[in-house]
Amino acid sequence: MGVLLKNAGVIMARRLDERRLTWSDLDDMQMLDLFHAAFLEAAPEAYPHRDAAGLEEATNTMFAVAAMELVATTDGPDTIN
């Protein structure tokens, strides 16, 4: 997991640099989307022994749950709590 997180961090930094953005330019959902995309890109290299389709499905499920929790706990007009 450490290799995956490290590689995802590198990918995220590269994408921000390519777009000439900083972390503070992103809202919470944009940050989660960036992390999700980087995680998907980095996961196959970190877990080559795992089925790629299963890995992608598990990653998408994990980030869907995170997105729902983010929406549910973020202050604003759409807050569920």
pLDDT digits (tens, 9 = 90+) for 7-66: 999 999 999 999 999 999 999 999 999 999 999 999 999 999 999 999 999 999 999 999
Evaluate if residue 70 carries a pLDDT over 80: yes
Residue 1 per-residue DSSP state: -
Helices (H), 19-51: 28-46
46: burial class by Cβ within 10 Å (0-12, 13-18, 19+)? Answer: middle
pLDDT of residue 72: 86
In this prediction the pTM is 0.83
- Where does the pLDDT of residue 76 fall: very low under 50, low under 70, confident under 90, or very high at 90 and above? low
The contacts of residue 63 (CB under 8 Å, 6+ apart) are: 32, 35, 36, 39
